[in-house]
A and B are shown apart, each in its own frame.
Chain A
Amino acid sequence: MDRNSNTYTFIYAAGMVILVAAILASVAMALRPLQNTNIEVEKMQNILASVNIESTAADAEEIYTERIQTQYVVNWQGEVVEGEDAFDIDLKKEQAKDLEERLMPVYECQTEEGLKYIFPMRGSGLWGPIWGFVSLDSDMNTIYGANFDHQSETPGLGAEISTDWFQATFSGKEIFNEQGELVSLTITKPGQDAPEEHKVDGISGGTITSKGLEEMLLSDFQSYSEFLKKKKS
């Protein structure tokens, strides 16, 4: 057959596309379970990191089941919703819903320094989504630890939110002011006027990511606010 004829070209292209699609689809399906396990293990590591427990991909699952014994889902009024698995909640989907219908996971971890509550969060940075876990002391005010991650922030600038040194600056900060109002944290450059206990130094060159993080903390703490107040009193 003439290799330069239209018919040959069309048949060749069609055959190639079908073959390639079949190969890629079957590989993706075959590797899916392994990839999902990796994603779950990473999530466990991140949750553990927010209460300052280090883990590796190999032992994360074991440590997680040992340390995080209680996990549940609450609604905006702070009531526990039965029949939902906190770990399987997709934050992206939940945040697209109205606050009244939103399901919000809470994890409890017993540490050497008492019971800690872990809250997952999700927001937007400069280039894409950012997310993380923040843990509070049982006074529901003082931040015990934090872990953030991002999809595509600029390396060396916004991407620094996922580094240990930045996350370490969160512990000890308070999210309620003296009047009992939820003020969350201000993430700003040093010297800016904000009370020390509600302020974290932002990242030089990563202002938009820092602001995104600030908004994420505020809006997500707000959606948990009824739950926080309930536990607080």
Chain B
Amino acid sequence: MIRSRGSFGHEQGCMTQLQHMAREGLQQLIDALRDRGYRCIGPKVKDGAIVFDTVESAEEFPRGIRDQQEPGRYALTESSEDKYFDWANGPQALRPLTFAPQETLWKVQRDGGGKLTFREVAPAMPPTAVIGARACDVAALKIHDQVFLERDPADPYYAARRKALFVVAVNCSSPASTCFCASTGDGPHVSSGFDMALTELDDGFTVQLASDAAQSIAAALPLVDATDEQHFAVGHQRSEAIRAQTRSVPGRNLRQALFDNLHHGRWKDVAERCLSCGNCTSVCPTCFCHREEQDARLEGDAADHVRMWDSCFTREHSYMHGFVLRETTAQRYRQWLTHKFGSWHDQFGRSGCVGCGRCIAWCPVGIDVTEELQHICGEGSSESIPSP
């Protein structure tokens, strides 16, 4: 049931025949996953947003719901379509599932003689199937695999969670105005990195199986070969979802353009609007910064070593023995953008942005990263000021 680390790639099964199941098949999918011991995580409406949470029934899915996203704005409305997945995304991708917002790495106990005994705390992650991951979410998961697994040493905490994860992706039919995954090359349809991929059509779902675990689940589903019309409908939906995207990045590799413009006037301009609140880094599915802290017990002999998500927009992020390296918001915004879109290419062979648009929608002042990039890296971007 739990796949070995070797199957993270999933590439081998992607060319399998497209199959089809009726809309009611979604409940059977949940049942089949639960029967095989998976905890199911799916989209739900909570506090006015779509969030991933434990689901037992397809009834809990946001059927007939759309999300309206704009810079600094997120709202749910009723959809004219009776679909389960007629929305783009919520504030969090899969990141909290595999990279815990806060977790204890180890515990330490001091004995009477002062000797310290360190004990690793292994994450307790039951086999977990997430239904409804978007192409951008899956692309971000693959990026975190690079960060935490594919470099030496691997992160044992991420590895344990990742190993327990079964990904049911759902191709995106209804991008939000903030989405730009087509321009980053990560969506709107998934291409790899999932176990099973669904496309929701008017008459149910097409189903693509990409792993042995998915083949085994599929045996319990009412699948038939997809018709030519259904194949066509999937392709049509994809083209429409691309066409619906109005935002874009001004290039897939902006590394040179960014580092050529470290003193561009726009850094100061954006810093006048940016609150340095770190919302963008909290919702970004690829941000991986974390800090470590000690949680000492009152009795003094025991302590927990805890790590939690961190943000390069805080002062403490760049603290070093007595001073702060990035005191200004301009320096912090530039750090974030030049890493995400610039030096990420050196470190991981691609940009760190998957085009999900969350940093645009969840920014309290509506800073649009695509617009900032356009100013800094687009044509005529050599306007220069002294260093921020």
Do chains A and B stick together as partners? no
Name B residues whose Cβ lies closer than 8 Å to a Cβ of A: none
